[in-house]
Amino acid sequence: MSPAPRERERADGGYRPPEGRVTTVPDTPDGPRQATEQHDWADSLWIAGHRRPAADGSRRQVHDPADGTVLAEVAEAGPADADEAVAAARRAFDHGPWPATPPAGRAAVLRATAGLLRRDRERIALTESRDTGKTLAEARTDVDDVAAAFGYYAALVEHEAAGRVVDAGSAEVHSVVVHEPAGVCALITPWNYPLLQAAWKIAPALAAGNTFVLKPSELTPLSSVLLLRLLGEAGLPDGAGNLLTGPGDPVGARLAAHPGVDLVSFTGGLASGTKVAAAAAATVKKTALELGGKNPNVVFADACASPEGFATAVDHALNAAFIHSGQVCSAGSRLIVEESVRDRFVAELTARARRIRLGRGTDPGVECGPLISPGQVTRTEKFVAGALEEGAVLRCGGRRPGPGDGPPDGGWFYLPTVLDHCHRDMRIIREEIFGPVLTVETFRTEDEAVALANDTEYGLAGAVFSADTARARRIAGRLRHGTVWINDYHPYLPQAEWGGFGRSGTGRELGPSGLAEYRETKHIYENLRPAPTRWFAG
């Protein structure tokens, strides 16, 4: 996913504030900030159109990663809640109005949802910022991107034809291929972009006429709670959308294996993704998996020949690695730079990385927030320590912030880190970190650059920077990654497919293929003049 799609849809929709008390916190130049008090989240499950607690009354605390305090307390769903949510989605699909709603009617609900998201932008962005630790500016962009995704799928299906007529070679035959919803969809989303990833699944699933059960990460569930309430306000029928706030085990595991679920879409880590795939295989469900990446950013010397080109390449290398503290599946954590400019490039990159301002995402001037949990900080520390033992050279960072490093005082922070002189045999080159760590490798020839960039079991995204258009396009054509940027990093388009090669997963999100993931294809062959075939003599 990315912090900056290039398309914006406009949509209107009425607004009714979600239930619960709301407190106002200090205004920003862009408008008032609002936050919901803790008790508003206690009934966080959304099943058959109703808010409710977990069946056994269990709750889970959600923590603010900027200081470790309790941000909210949500319902902790269990297997019984999962069964109830699937049953509600099943009834809504088999007997409810949503699958039979004409495309224009489904598009109207999606557009209304986009309008509500824009209307409630500030409150949702603040919730997302505090829940994930990302900056408020990035969270606002996420809300805009979510609205754009709903708008895109509304436009895609609104005037869709009823089917594709197939020429059967006979005037006595009418043959048509139609697309039907897959059924009940289990949508399991990660903690780094909870709102965005939910929208990438919910918008096409609803556009295709499916019903769903959403299971966000237990670490960052709050924006998903708000989104489900907005879908209800937008007119989504009861049971068509359901939400379970709870852990991957047992809730996510139950959804993946549930016989009442027809499709599982999962975004997360490779280890969890393989478990989901194995659980789904028992009932031969459709699956779509996005499992992260180890993404190369290839910089040729010619991209740095001019002062502007050099500054641009360095700037994008910083964005690629350190946006959202590196907690991005498409993060450009592997800088692969031509040897002749390596020293100069790394020196400037390091100087700028040292100046990145850490802090609470909602504070003015902050450029990088905390990591999501203490465990993620420890994981990052182990990766860096291992790289240093294997011969990497630390240029900056490599530790938690100390007293002389600026604002962070508590919370789960790690300094932006640059590791030079890395090589392909290092663990840090081969495994996804999900932390603010950039490794540096060098190359001399085009073939060497391509070999390094493709030397990964993953294949989600990558980039090439070059002033030579022919070279850049040639390299892009050779990279085995689902998205390749040329002279840019991170933007995506709702109308363009997103997904990876190899262990980055299966299937695609966004674009027309993202809609196709949530459909079954049916061929209807009609004999207009039936008569005996007399195949058997009788």
Q: Which residues are catalytic?
A: 290
- Read off the tokens for 197: 């990833």
Looking at residue 456, the DSSP 8-state letter turns out to be S
Does residue 337 contact residue 299 with C-beta atoms inside 8 Å? yes
Long-range contact set of residues 396-400: C-beta below 8 Å, sequence gap at least 24: 396/350, 396/353, 396/354, 397/353, 397/354, 397/436, 397/437
Helix (H) or strand (E) holding 45: strand 45-47
Calculated CA dihedral for residues 67, 68, 72, 74, nearest 10 degrees: 150
Helix (H) or strand (E) holding 418: strand 417-420
Evaluate the omega torsion of the peptide bond into residue 216 and state whether it is cis, within 30 degrees of 0: no
Helix (H) or strand (E) holding 286: strand 286-290
Does residue 265 contact residue 186 with C-beta atoms inside 8 Å? yes
Instruction: Name residues whose C-beta falls within 8 Å of residue 354's C-beta, 6 or more positions apart in sequence.
Output: 396, 397, 416
Question: Which amino acid would we find at residue 451?
Answer: A
Does residue 349 contact residue 314 with C-beta atoms inside 8 Å? yes
